[in-house]
Amino acid sequence: MPNLSDIADVAEALGGKSVLVVEKRCVAVRNRHSSCRKCIEACVADAISVGDNNVKIDPEACVSCGACTVVCPTEALVPVEPADVELASAAAEATRALGGNLSVFACARMAARREGDPDKYVSVPCLARMEESLLLQLASHGVGDVVLVDGTCSTCKFGGTSEGVTATVESANSLLAAQGSSVRVRRASEFPSEAIETSGRKSFAAARRGFFSQAGGMAKDAVKVATEKALDETLGKQNEKKELNLRELLRPDKDGGLPQFEPSRRMNALDAMDVIGQSVVPEIETRLFGSVSIDESKCRACGMCTVFCPTGALKKSEEKPASGEGSYLEFQLMECVQCNLCADTCLQKCITVSDMIATSELFDFEPRLIHLPDPPARGSLLSRLKSTGR
């Protein structure tokens, strides 16, 4: 596990970048036919470029809002300042200072007004940096109210992220409601009274909180987040003399499969939802997880979807149909990040990825079997030539 020195070294090597790019996770790097451009759509500074199996962030243009790291389905863009572990630890401290039932986050613009007690809220560059897993973890630890305080977005350099902040709030609330929780995340233009600075003596610098303080179970849980895995994958690469080509970067296994990873934020969100309670609705529309279906009448059982799936949500199954006809794929909904790469790479266009998911399947450890037909017989070279009229 990378330590704080490692994190600092990587941040320095990246030249002050606030977002770490883990290329092997990016679906556009894995396959040039990927349609995912969520990071570009979320970026308010036109700092991100994707193409030719590459993803780049212009550090000069980047405004460090963190919006791209929230919408990236494969966690290929990882925030460094603040890192997830730092943000979770700071949230635990501030929540404890408020008595444990209220968590408050404020954008840098609101923090600069010095109206809030710096010990009782967490400051982030922009509320676009907030993502569902942390909000759900707060609720799972007994927090009853989560408030996101931001200023007048229309006159802020981050103003274009306001819609994304709203989307995150709505997403978190829908997942909380699905688990029967009464907790809701809300946006506000002012600090709640409990977080107002009243002493007039506290230093604004006190708002800066360090990594890994003794903040209780919430911070301990946070060490599983994406930052550490991303840094672990990236450490050591900064000193390489030659730039890796695509094959060296992705390192296919002996069967041609590309590297896979566990989506840490989504697993943290799922764990939090499980702690909150059992689902009270049969299905839910969400951007965190996806449901895959395959039109068997069009499928040729080529297996390309399993090759490119970044998380292993789709895998070839060892189980055989009782009829002896065809084969199975195993689909694990909890591992599907709705990146759509399976559909993008399907030559027959027979795969559909939906954001409407069954809650029972989300919490089912047994994968769903998807039946595939037997691949079409190729026939002899002579017969194929005759069929084409040659």
DSSP 61: T
Is 129 within the bounds of a domain? yes
pLDDT of residue 209: 39
Q: What burial class does residue 224 get, using C-beta atoms within 10 Å of its C-beta: 0-12 exposed, 13-18 middle, 19+ buried?
A: middle
Average pLDDT, 10 consecutive residues per value, the chain (390 residues): 47 64 91 94 94 90 94 94 90 95 94 92 95 97 96 74 94 98 95 85 42 36 43 45 49 63 92 96 97 96 93 94 93 97 96 98 95 79 51
d(CA 294, CA 259): 23
The answer to whether residue 262 sits within a structural domain is: no
Q: What is the per-residue pLDDT for 178?
A: 98
Please tell me what DSSP assigns to residue 35: -
Q: Do 72 and 95 have their domain in common?
A: no
CA 277 – CA 180 distance, rounded (Å): 7
Whether 30 and 120 share a structural domain: no
- Looking at the structure, tell me whether residues 113 and 153 fall in a common domain: yes
Q: Give CA–CA dist 284/174, Å, rounded.
A: 8
Burial pattern 127-159, b for ≥16 Cβ within 10 A else e, equals bbbbbbbbbbbbbbbebebbbbbbbebeebebe
Q: How many CB atoms lie within 10 A of CB 70?
A: 25
Select from 258, 249, 229 the least CA-distant residue to 54.
249
Pairing type for strands 351-354 and 291-294 reads antiparallel
pTM of the model: 0.82
Is the domain of 38 the same as that of 123? no
Whether residues 21 and 128 fall in one domain:
no
The whole-angstrom separation of Cα 315 and Cα 88 is: 33
Evaluate whether residue 207 is within a structural domain: yes
CA 293 to chain centre: 22
Rounded Cα–Cα distance for residues 165 and 187 (Å):
9
How many domains, in total, are found in the chain?
2
**Residue (of 187, 189, 195) closest to 152 by Cα position:** 189
Cα dist from 370 to 165, 294, 303, 313, 345, whole Å: 36, 7, 12, 12, 18
Same domain, 102 and 178: yes
Based on the domain organization, do 99 and 200 belong to the same domain?
A: yes
Give the domain extent around 71. Answer: 4-82+225-247
The pLDDT assigned to 202 comes to 52
- Least Cα distance to 333 among 304, 295, 364, 296 occurs for 364
Examine residue 196 and state whether it is found in any structural domain, yes or no: yes
Q: Supply the CATH number for residue 31's domain.
A: 3.30.70.20
- On whether both 117 and 171 belong to a single domain, the answer is yes
Residue 370 located in a structural domain: no
153, amino acid identity: C
Give the single-character DSSP code of 171.
H
91: in domain = yes
What six digits make up the tokens of 51? 């193409």
SS3 294: strand
**Cα 342 to Cα 355: distance, rounded to the nearest angstrom:** 14
Angstrom distances, CA of residue 235 to CA of 79, 160, 220, 239, 376: 15, 33, 23, 9, 46
Q: For the chain, where are the E strands, in sequence order?
A: 19-21, 48-50, 55-57, 77-79, 102-107, 122-124, 145-149, 184-188, 283-285, 291-294, 314-316, 327-331, 351-354, 356-358, 368-372
Quote the CA–CA distance of 289 and 44 in Å, as a whole number.
25
| One domain for residues 71 and 133 | no
Instruction: Give residue 80's pLDDT.
Output: 87
The four Cα atoms 158, 88, 93, 182 give a dihedral, to 10 degrees, of 90
Residue 338, Ramachandran bin (φ over 0: left; ψ between -120 and 50: alpha; else beta)? left
Please indicate, yes or no, whether residues 59 and 22 belong to a single structural domain of this protein.
yes
Question: Judging by beta carbons within 10 Å of its beta carbon (0-12, 13-18, 19+), is residue 348 exposed, middle or buried?
Answer: middle
Helical ranges in 335-380 per DSSP H:
341-345, 359-362
* 171 within a domain of the structure (yes/no): yes
Instruction: Say yes or no: 131 and 212 in one domain.
Output: yes
Let me know how long the chain is. Answer: 390
Q: Same domain, yes or no, for 28 and 66?
A: yes
Question: For the segment 92-114, what is each residue's pLDDT rounded down to a tens digit?
Answer: 999 999 999 999 999 998 998 89
Query: Please, are residues 387 and 370 in contact by the beta-carbon 8 Å criterion?
Result: no
pLDDT tens column, 281-312: 999 999 999 999 999 999 999 999 999 999 99
Residue 203, in any domain of the structure: yes
